[in-house]
Structure 1
Amino acid sequence: MDLRAIEKNYERMSDSKLIEVITTNAQGIQPEVFGIIENEIRKRNLDPNLLNAVISQNEHHSLEDIYRHSELLRDLPCPICDNSRDKLNGTVCYTIKSIIITTFTATKIVIACPDCLDKQNRKAIISCSLLGWWGIPFGILKTPVYIYRNLKAKDENRTSDSNGALLSFTAEHIGQIKAFENNPEKLKNLIRDMKYLGF
């Protein structure tokens, strides 16, 4: 392993790129690289908690740890309606769109208050119902499945504890959550900027 080349690579990154890499893509790094990242954080005068993101991505997390970090997200205001009255939770929205012989599918995790989660699932169901059927054969076969998946996801929107979608999101983003656990605005941005997967 060429540590000097790794160091140069980190030096070339902008602050925002470095933060993105070390909070989302630091799984499996070698112990020698921790020191390089720590020096780069210190040299740029970045938040020292960013190193926690690197460490957390290379640790095994217990279910209790994931639950605890999911509670940090649940206490945020809703990123869609800005409501602070209800605790947040997660849902998965499944969509399908078809054009003759081509069918596109997408999956998106949404973190929001229960009312907004219900609205997101309803929108996905309507979208599937209107746009999913028009592809042969997959649109016809998959559309009922995607509608059913949205209905099942909607059933978990009002659970009193963190549901499966929120726990899955927390486990996947634990590095970012740990790095920004004292910065509610960054956590709110994290859950607001969700992207569709596989579309």
Structure 2
Amino acid sequence: MDIEDIEKHYERMSDDEIIRITTKDGRGLRPEVFGIIKKEIKKRNLNPDLLNGAIAQNKDYSIFELEQYANILRKLPCPICGKTKEQLNGTIAHTVKGFLFFAVSNTKTSIACPECLDNTNDNAVLSTFFLGWWDLPWGFIKTPVYIYRNIKAKKQNWLYTPNSTLLAFTEVNIGAIEIYKNDKEKLSEIIDTKKPSALRK
């Protein structure tokens, strides 16, 4: 696709599509596309910081740089309990539910304070312990594995620095974080993984 076709393609996009690309779906953009996006943002009178989100998605980051972005999120109120006493981190809750001849397994990322992350993993352990065995034969294999994964994940919940789960979440959502790094309301929407958000992957 040549540059004129790309320009026409972006001209036909809705405002929501432009916002979606700049916040979360803009990885792999060619460098010349940034000028087209800038032009469309200006023409439509959209938030000029949207361009920064598209650029942010197409950079390579060191661990130190990712930690800087993650620390922006860590200072927010916990999306579960609302407290600000402890800095936020991330965890993955692993659950499996057995239904005789099949099982439904799930992994869900949560960003919250360490206490709420512990509760999230504990609830996943309880759910899996009581409901995971009822698939033959995989329930007897998956249930202890998923319980172990939750126990292992809890060990990172109270780390003083951003843990691996939070860093991975930050990298995936770095476009939106860059755009809204000075807007606590938007950032809170990004980290609230219990609610659907157009700003988060």
Q: Specify if TM > 0.5.
A: yes
1:58 maps onto 2:81 in alignment = no
Q: What is aligned with 1:76? A: 76
Quick check: 110-119 or 42-51, which moved more? 42-51
Measure, in 1, the Cα distance between the counterparts of 2:109 and 2:6.
33
Q: What is aligned with 1:93? A: 93
Measure, in 2, the Cα distance between the counterparts of 1:6 and 1:76.
38
Kindly tell me: are residues 13 and 194 of structure 1, through their superposed partners in 2, closer, same or farther at Cα, counting changes over 3 Å? farther
Give the residue type in structure 2 aligned to 1:62: S
Q: SS state of the match for residue 176, structure 1?
A: helix
Kindly tell me: are residues 142 and 41 of structure 1, through their superposed partners in 2, closer, same or farther at Cα, counting changes over 3 Å? same
Measure, in 2, the Cα distance between the counterparts of 1:195 and 1:147.
25
Q: What is aligned with 1:137? A: 137
1:173 maps onto 2:173 in alignment = yes
1:23 Cα deviation after fit: 1.4
Q: What is aligned with 1:190? A: 190
RMSD: 1.8
Give the residue type in structure 2 aligned to 1:101: F
1:110 Cα deviation after fit: 0.6
User: Identity, % of aligned pairs?
Assistant: 48
Q: What is aligned with 1:122? A: 122
Measure, in 2, the Cα distance between the counterparts of 1:195 and 1:162.
22
| 8 A Cα contact 1:53 1:174, kept in partner | yes
Kindly tell me: are residues 35 and 129 of structure 1, through their superposed partners in 2, closer, same or farther at Cα, counting changes over 3 Å? same
Measure, in 2, the Cα distance between the counterparts of 1:195 and 1:4.
39
1:8 Cα deviation after fit: 3.9
Q: What is aligned with 2:199? A: none
1:17 Cα deviation after fit: 3.3
> Where do 5+ consecutive residues of structure 1 fail to align?
none
TM-score (norm 1): 0.91
**Count of residues in correspondence between the two structures:** 196
Measure, in 2, the Cα distance between the counterparts of 1:190 and 1:170.
10
Measure, in 2, the Cα distance between the counterparts of 1:36 and 1:156.
42
| 8 A Cα contact 2:21 2:54, kept in partner | no
Measure, in 1, the Cα distance between the counterparts of 2:22 and 2:48.
12
1:11 Cα deviation after fit: 3.6
TM-score (norm 2): 0.90
1:28 Cα deviation after fit: 1.1
| 8 A Cα contact 1:80 1:116, kept in partner | yes
1:194 Cα deviation after fit: 5.4
CA deviations on 1:145-165 (whole Å, 9 max, x unpaired) are: 000000111111111111111
1:33 Cα deviation after fit: 1.4
Measure, in 2, the Cα distance between the counterparts of 1:15 and 1:193.
24
| 8 A Cα contact 2:91 2:154, kept in partner | yes
| 8 A Cα contact 1:108 1:195, kept in partner | no
Give the residue type in structure 1 aligned to 2:189: N
| 8 A Cα contact 1:28 1:58, kept in partner | yes
Kindly tell me: are residues 4 and 100 of structure 1, through their superposed partners in 2, closer, same or farther at Cα, counting changes over 3 Å? farther
> Where do 5+ consecutive residues of structure 2 fail to align?
197-201
